[in-house]
DNA sequence: GTGGTCTAGACCACG
DNA sequence: GTGGTCTAGACCACA
């Protein structure tokens, strides 16, 4: 899987990396157990500071998406499932914005369904 | 409507204010045409600097949620309608996170529906 | 001629009034020598402070568009013609913005021609 | 490129800076991709506060003229193309002022052509 | 009274 | 090093 970053975006590089890995896991490009490139390798490939990659990996590990082993590097973890989703706040904010624009419930639901399928099938990106 | 801020949050104060106004418009606590407190008044009530409130109001005005009048302060604008694709990126990221947790499409849809209704009925908040 | 103001605009009220009088003179709705309403009368009609109208009239007088007589009120002056136009700076800024967007000279000229005819035939407005 | 400001002008400093950058892009002194001075550097050079420069850069970024990079400062963006109707209001007001002075259509067009070429060739300035 | 502008200085996040 | 945020206080324009 090829990660791409936009150095001109207002979004921090480490967040871009984190989001792209999440998208990769969601659409299956990154399977459970699969190894991620080493911090220094990925940093070299992208031409960025390895501290930035390290920060992205730390964020992903903290949220349970990957497991970091000091000797074997980082690897994708299996779906954790259970815990209360952290993103309901964001989702509610999206819903509030839709409501402000007068979007009906079913229209919002259709939009959500479209986003789910796009994330599932790949090709998704997130430019905040 | 009472706005609350968390000075210990990593999210900037002006973004917290902006989001709370959006939630307020969504659930009807802030009706179209209703006046918002003056920047200095709200700043005094919240114990923060008026520049911070001013920045939040400027962001809300920029996105079409409120209209700032030089002599009567800020007021909520009627629903504008346009600009739907603004938050689809965020929504897709939420969907990807759901997929990573193994959430099925219908479960995600139900979650979205719940968020929409929470935003509609009030009590919503967003702590990024 | 009916003047209209938008109290929600970011543009100061007195500038709106000034611009509308300029448009009125340009398209002939206001002929040379024609009397303008008194400051207090116009303020009452528009529901605004008479100081605001007074400021607009002062600006128009200062730029040579109207003549203010303490006893007979304000009246439109005949075209002054000669003096070097004050608005070349604004015009050049418009041209620079067009250049930034890659607009060719002839396209810009056509745009200017359209604006001239709109100002001449009436129906023009200026929302900065 | 040397930016100059007039602290005695009624026009806000940040607007003066914004307009000068637009002029610089228009006449080619600022090429696409070229880096602008950092906010603190430019502020020091001009003897003003860095917040003022920051506001000018934010306005330019908002309108698509420059891109602000968190670690490399600001850089000029390539021509975006869209958003022509942005300045037609201003242009129409200029045309109305010309009409008030009795300027004929072709004379106005020649004036516009001169402004376009001045903006194109440099030496342009705007003192509102 | 309102918001807008400018200054000054502190602290933080990013890289 | 960069820009972003927040605070504090001054002054001005508008109405």
Number of domains in chain D: 2
Residue D69: strand pairing partners:
D73
List the single protein residue with the shortest CA to C1' distance from E9.
Answer: D49
Please indicate whether, in this complex, the C-beta atoms of D25 and C119 are within 8 angstroms of each other. no
Q: How far is the CA of B34 from the C1' of F14 (A)?
A: 22
CA distance A26 to D123: 55
A103 shares a domain with A69: no
D30 shares a domain with D63: yes
Write out the residue range of the structural domain in which residue A101 sits: 88-121
B89 shares a domain with B54: no
pLDDT over threshold 80, residue C128: no
Q: Which two tokens stand for residue B24?
A: 């307020």
User: Which chain F positions have some atom within 7 A of a protein CB?
Assistant: 1-9, 13-15
Q: Does B69 touch chain C (CB under 8 A)?
A: yes
Let me know: does D124 contact C100? Beta carbons within 8 Å. Answer: no
**pLDDT (tens digit per residue) in B81-113:** 666 777 899 999 999 999 998 899 999 999 999
In-domain check, residue D32: yes
Q: How far is the CA of D56 from the C1' of F7 (A)?
A: 21
Report pLDDT for A8.
79
In-domain check, residue A106: yes
Q: How far is the CA of D99 from the C1' of F8 (A)?
A: 49
Q: Where are the beta strands (DSSP E) in chain C?
A: 66-69, 73-76
D92 shares a domain with D47: no
Please indicate whether, in this complex, the C-beta atoms of B72 and C7 are within 8 angstroms of each other. yes
Please indicate whether, in this complex, the C-beta atoms of B126 and A92 are within 8 angstroms of each other. yes
Q: How far is the CA of D37 from the C1' of E9 (A)?
A: 21
C93 shares a domain with C68: no
Name chain A contacts of B92, Cβ cutoff 8 Å.
Answer: 115, 118-119, 124-126
Report pLDDT for A2.
79
Low-confidence ranges of chain D (pLDDT < 70): 80-83, 123-128
Name chain D contacts of A128, Cβ cutoff 8 Å.
Answer: none
A93 shares a domain with A72: no
- Where are the alpha helices (H) located in chain D, listed in sequence order? 13-26, 39-46, 50-62, 88-100, 105-121
Question: Does the CB of D74 fall within 7 Å of any strand F atom?
Answer: yes
Please indicate whether, in this complex, the C-beta atoms of D69 and A12 are within 8 angstroms of each other. no
Report pLDDT for B126.
47
Q: pTM value?
A: 0.89
**pLDDT (tens digit per residue) in A71-110:** 888 999 887 655 667 889 999 999 999 999 999 999 999 9
B70 shares a domain with B109: no
Helix (H, G, I), strand (E, B) or coil at C80: coil
* Most B-contacting residue of A9, A62, A77, A97 (CB-CB within 10 A), to test interface: A97
CA distance B12 to B3: 15
Pairing between strand C73-76 and A66-69?
Answer: unpaired
pLDDT over threshold 60, residue B128: no
Report pLDDT for D128.
39
Question: Does the CB of C9 fall within 7 Å of any strand F atom?
Answer: no
Nearest CA in chain D to A11: D70
Comparing A24-38, C66-80, D30-44, the range with the smallest average pLDDT is C66-80
Let me know: does C128 contact D89? Beta carbons within 8 Å. Answer: yes
Please indicate whether, in this complex, the C-beta atoms of B70 and C12 are within 8 angstroms of each other. yes
Burial of A74-98, coded b for 16+ CB within 10 Å and e otherwise, reads: bebbeeeeeeeeebbbbbbbbbbbb
C67 shares a domain with C18: yes
In-domain check, residue A52: yes
Distances (CA, A) of B7 to B36, B44, B123: 21, 15, 20
pLDDT over threshold 90, residue B70: no
Q: Which two tokens stand for residue B106?
A: 């219908």
In-domain check, residue B8: no
Query: Where does residue D81 fall: left (phi above 0), alpha (psi -120 to 50 degrees), or beta otherwise?
Result: left
A109 shares a domain with A62: no
Return residues 1-30 of D near C (CB < 8 Å).
Answer: 19, 22-23, 25-27
D89 shares a domain with D72: no
Q: Which CATH number is C46's domain given?
A: 1.10.10.10
Q: Does A95 touch chain B (CB under 8 A)?
A: yes
pLDDT-derived band at B123 (thresholds 50, 70, 90) equals: low
A126 exposed, middle or buried (CB, 10 Å; 0-12, 13-18, 19+)? buried
Please indicate whether, in this complex, the C-beta atoms of A7 and D67 are within 8 angstroms of each other. no
DSSP string, B58-118: HHHHHTTSEEEETTTEEEEPPP----GGGGHHHHHHHHHHHHHTT--HHHHHHHHHHHHHH
**pLDDT (tens digit per residue) in D45-64:** 999 999 999 999 999 998 88
Q: Does A128 touch chain D (CB under 8 A)?
A: no
Distance of CA B88 to the CA centre of its chain: 16
Helix (H) or strand (E) holding A67: strand A66-69
In-domain check, residue D128: no
Q: Does A115 touch chain B (CB under 8 A)?
A: yes
Q: Does D58 touch chain A (CB under 8 A)?
A: no
In-domain check, residue D102: yes
In-domain check, residue D108: yes
In-domain check, residue D30: yes
Q: Does D93 touch chain C (CB under 8 A)?
A: yes
Average pLDDT over residues C28-44: 92
Name chain B contacts of C7, Cβ cutoff 8 Å.
Answer: 69, 72
CA distance C58 to C64: 10
Q: Does B119 touch chain C (CB under 8 A)?
A: no
Question: Does the CB of D39 fall within 7 Å of any strand F atom?
Answer: yes
CA dihedral C4, C10, C13, C14 (to 10 degrees): -120
D89 shares a domain with D62: no
Please indicate whether, in this complex, the C-beta atoms of C8 and B70 are within 8 angstroms of each other. no
D24: closest CA of chain A, how far (Å): 21
A62 shares a domain with A40: yes
Report pLDDT for B38.
95
Last residue of a domain, one of B76, B98, B113: B76
């Amino acid at each position: 899987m090829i990660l791409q970053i936009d150095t001109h975006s207002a979004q921090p590089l480490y967040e871009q990396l984190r989001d792209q890995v999440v998208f990769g896991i969601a659409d299956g490009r990154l399977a459970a157990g699969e190894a991620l490139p080493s911090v220094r390798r990925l940093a070299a490939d992208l031409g960025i500071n390895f501290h930035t990659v390290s920060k992205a990996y730390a964020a992903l590990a903290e949220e349970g998406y990957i497991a970091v082993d000091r000797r074997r590097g980082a690897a994708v973890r299996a779906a954790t499932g259970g815990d209360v989703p952290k993103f309901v706040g964001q989702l509610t904010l999206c819903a509030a914005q839709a409501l402000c624009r007068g979007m009906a419930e079913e229209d919002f639901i259709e939009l959500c369904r479209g986003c789910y399928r796009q994330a599932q099938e790949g090709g998704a990106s997130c430019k905040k």
